[in-house]
Amino acid sequence: MATFGKLLIVDDDADVLHALQLLLKKHASVVHTERNPERVPSLMHNTSYDLILLDMNFHEDVTSGREGFHWLDRILEIDPAATVVLITAYGDIETAVRAIKQGAADFVLKPWQNERLLATLTAASRLRDSRVEVQRLHSRGKQLSADLDHPYQAFVGQAPSMVRVFNTIDKVARTDANVLILGENGTGKELAARAVHRASQRADEVFVTVDMAAIPESLFESELFGHVKGAFTDARADRAGRFEVASGGTLFLDEIGDLSPPLQAKLLTALQNRQVVRVGSNKPVSFDVRLICATNMPIYEMVRENRFRQDLLYRINTVELRIPPLQERHEDVPLLADFFLDMYRRKYQSAVTGISAAAVAKLEKYHWPGNVRELQHMVERAIIMTESTVLQPDDFFFAGQHEHDETLDGFVFDTFNLEEVEKTVIRRALDKSGGNISHAAEQLGLTRGSLYRRLEKYGL
């Protein structure tokens, strides 16, 4: 049974290579041998080796080990996670210590004892596994830290349309089927995706979210597929892409409808092959993810207009989940308002104890172009600004409406704070466009990505 994975042996002695290959082929999945160290970089670019057994001395310098140290440095420059075991007939303790300090995993003397060599390579292989796992956990930890900046709120509702959503989630979560979530901006598509993940067999693994609208086209492959050191100007170290980071867990691709046709093709290829290739490399890396996608765009209309690939749509929507807008489930407004009231009351240590019946009635009559996100923002603001222990109708005012005149439908500002003015203008554009991000962005003279960044910045 293979224990070393893929092994590369570099030695200028053909007899040594032959003997090592006979000994180690039973213990490795692949054994490559090479007499010329100049070919090592090419071999490493084509194959990801788990172990490299490297001779310390070649023809030019048969005793000092200088060439061995040179090629050790080159190998670690190409792959900082490479696990290298040095081998020489002229070793001593000083050379061994120097080799370890320069990054070698271990040191073996010629002539070797078979059992000792196998034990050394077994230990080195375990070291390689540990390094790979540390790199994966580091990338995953950075992604989790980023996700923690956007705390999760509960996915709640009791309207019949939401009960159907919950029932669908219960059914699909038990499988590994790809899910496509449709719904207007602010309806809770990411919350639905997280609910699917939490109820799945991957619940103990990572949930990685990617806002496709916020990724510049030039960085798409680097963000999703990863890159190697030196692949481009700012690539100072190897970096795992989101597919690798999410492997074993769930990958949530939000606003997938924003992808251009060339990027759609690249994503489709990765999903079909279940492999990605890091930018700057040609070595495929396999991944295992549960894919969930979401969009607020008319995806089927886009397919008919050839703006979205039909084969990609088939690939991502094994099960389709539609999240209803808040105006279609007004009976959930009091439930959601109470939920956000409790959340922000604890966050701000507020003395507010509830919402008056008149205030609830006012909220129920509103058409909610910004959906649940707008309601959340409105409750938070009311708790911060109120002077009462029970929220009243006057504590709530809607987009485009003056704080002291709820019938005014124009731009009236009681502040010259630019951020507050910008937030009000954005709310107004969303209100006028019925929550359609594309139309609102066009009215504001912004790209969709720029508008999304402002919505995230202001918590809208």
Q: Model pTM?
A: 0.59
- Quote the pLDDT of residue 77: 84
Whether residues 297 and 194 fall in one domain? yes
Whether residues 351 and 304 fall in one domain? no
**Of 309, 324, 339, the domain-final residue:** 324
- Quote the pLDDT of residue 404: 40
Output the average pLDDT for the chain.
84
Whether residues 31 and 78 fall in one domain? yes
Residue 157 lies in a domain: yes
Residue 237 lies in a domain: yes
DSSP string, 51-119: EEEEES-BTTBSSS-HHHHHHHHHHHHH-TT--EEEEESS--HHHHHHHHHTT-SEEEESSPPHHHHHH
The secondary element (H helix, E strand) that includes residue 1 is none
Whether residues 199 and 258 fall in one domain? yes
Residue 14 lies in a domain: yes
CATH of the domain at 21: 3.40.50.2300
Residue 261 lies in a domain: yes
Whether residues 57 and 118 fall in one domain? yes
**Of 304, 324, 344, the domain-final residue:** 324
Residue 140 lies in a domain: no
Using the predicted structure, report yes or no on whether residue 388 has a pLDDT greater than 60: yes
pLDDT average, residue stretch 376-399: 89
The whole-angstrom separation of Cα 192 and Cα 169 is 8
Whether residues 115 and 14 fall in one domain? yes
Using the predicted structure, report yes or no on whether residue 65 has a pLDDT greater than 70: no
Q: Which of 69-83, 94-108, 115-129, 175-189 has the highest average model confidence (pLDDT)?
A: 175-189
- Quote the pLDDT of residue 161: 93
Residue 320 lies in a domain: yes
Whether residues 293 and 346 fall in one domain? no
**Of 324, 357, 385, the domain-final residue:** 324
The whole-angstrom separation of Cα 144 and Cα 29 is 34
Using the predicted structure, report yes or no on whether residue 407 has a pLDDT greater than 50: no
CB neighbour burial string for 249-262, b if at least 16 within 10 angstroms, e if fewer: bbbbbbbbbbbeee
Using the predicted structure, report yes or no on whether residue 308 has a pLDDT greater than 90: yes
pLDDT average, residue stretch 22-27: 88
Using the predicted structure, report yes or no on whether residue 266 has a pLDDT greater than 90: yes
Sign, CA torsion 59/60/65/66: negative
Residue 138 lies in a domain: no
Using the predicted structure, report yes or no on whether residue 215 has a pLDDT greater than 70: yes
Whether residues 294 and 206 fall in one domain? yes
Tokens of 251: 């990958």
The pLDDT tens digits for 48-59 are 888 898 888 776
Instruction: Report cis status (omega within 30 of 0) of the bond before 111.
Output: yes
Whether residues 307 and 290 fall in one domain? yes
pLDDT average, residue stretch 64-89: 81
Total domains, the chain: 3
173 with 199: CB under 8 angstroms? yes
Burial of 286 (0-12, 13-18, 19+ CB in 10 A): exposed
The whole-angstrom separation of Cα 338 and Cα 15 is 79
pLDDT average, residue stretch 295-320: 94
- Quote the pLDDT of residue 187: 92
Indicate left, alpha or beta for 91 from its phi (over 0: left) and psi (-120 to 50: alpha): beta
Confidence band (pLDDT; 50, 70, 90) for 402? very low
Among 258, 252, 254, residue whose Cα is nearest residue 307: 258
Whether residues 239 and 101 fall in one domain? no
Chain centroid to Cα 64, Å, comes to 47
Tokens of 89: 């007939």
Whether residues 346 and 275 fall in one domain? no
- Per the structure, the complete domain to which residue 243 belongs is given by 150-324
